[in-house]
Amino acid sequence: MKYIDEFRDGALARKLAAEIAREARPDRQYRLMEFCGGHTHAIFRYGIPDLLPPNVQMIHGPGCPVCVLPIGRLDLGIRIARQPGTILTSYADMLRVPGSRKMSLMRAKAEGADVRMVYSATDALAIARENPDKHVVFFAIGFETTTPPTAVAVLQAQREGLDNFSVYCNHVLTPPALVHLLESHHPADEAPISIDGFVGPAHVSVVIGTGAYQAFAEHYRKPVVISGFEPLDVLQSILMLLRQLNEGRAVIENQYSRAVTAAGNLKAQDLVGQVLEVRDSFEWRGLGEVPYSALKLRADYAALDAEQRFGLKVIAARENAACECPAILRGAKRPNDCKVFGTLCTPENPIGSCMVSSEGACAAYYTYGRHTGTAAA
């Protein structure tokens, strides 16, 4: 299959691994962060850490939108779901994330709330059409990749005059989070995180383009290589980063040129800009308040904004003290540094969001056997 078999060729993977080993200087360490949760899973699914020299370390970043949503925002979603005459819809991962007192949208559903899984925002619109006597809320979440479909749903709802539909917007933005990571926002009792370069997100970059990272690379002097998801994509991106670091360069390179362009998807960007605007600040789990890092509906669409319709105010909520998800999301710890990982916290009984999501680092470690020291077959 084109672009599948070619990018999973074992012989080529071993050649790339040998090139990485030759490129890696023995007198230095290379600490590379993959921002995207899809990359984290690809890295462990294909056993890429076993192909890298000991001085090339992959650090897992906050590239899982379900994982970075703070508990307080989830608690607000659960509050919406419990409102009489309300149907709350969202993607599957979101339904299982634990909030305060181990409550989740799935548990709220078991207690009588009308919570429904959808595959897209248009599914939520269909539910609103089919239930004119109920108010349907779409719990929107995701990076720049899933933001355009939300914008399309808002425009469609406005055109149709669907006054029983609204959006609870939790879309977040990638570049501000990268900046935040490098500006050493970390707890006082935690050492600053050292990152030499970034494996840039693939699907996000299809939408925003490589140009969105240009100022970041120039200001912070950190190389970024936009990578595809196949094993050869990731290995080649790591090799490109090592070459940049060894040569003292810090530029944006596009390994995923078969899908990503410099400008990105201009139509999608225009749609998002028409419907949504940047928030002054937004809390990320593990990162705290990150300026200009999330989106909200513009005033023209206030009637479709669930936060305004339900009068929602952000509420403070405490993390489970046993869960290391916040430290894992900022790259300060690995999943197997967590005391409850793989014991009390499993995909069947998650304590933290990093174990729930299909893009979470803990789920990747658990699925591919990293908690036992062996890769899963």
pLDDT given at position 15: 96
Statement: the pTM of the whole predicted model exceeds 0.75? yes
Contact present, 7 and 42 (Cβ < 8 Å): no
Q: Is the pLDDT of residue 374 over 60?
A: no
- Tens digit of each residue's pLDDT (9 = 90 or more) over 77-113: 999 999 999 999 999 999 999 999 889 999 999 999 9
> 189: Cβ–Cβ under 8 A, 6 or more apart, which residues?
none
Least confident of 179-188, 262-271, 295-304: 179-188
Mean pLDDT of the chain: 93
Strand ranges (E), 54-150: 56-60, 86-90, 114-117, 135-142
Cα–chain-centroid distance for residue 82?
Answer: 27
What mean pLDDT is predicted for residues 194-205?
A: 96
- Tens digit of each residue's pLDDT (9 = 90 or more) over 43-66: 999 999 999 999 999 999 999 999
Strand ranges (E), 295-372: 295-297
The percent helix, strand, coil of the chain (3-state, each to 5) is 45, 15, 40
pLDDT given at position 373: 46
**In this structure, what token pair is assigned to residue 176?**
């501000």
Q: Which domains are seen in the chain, by residue range?
A: 5-65+188-254 (3.40.50.11750), 71-172+294-309 (3.40.50.11740), 325-367 (no CATH)
Rg (CA), the chain: 21
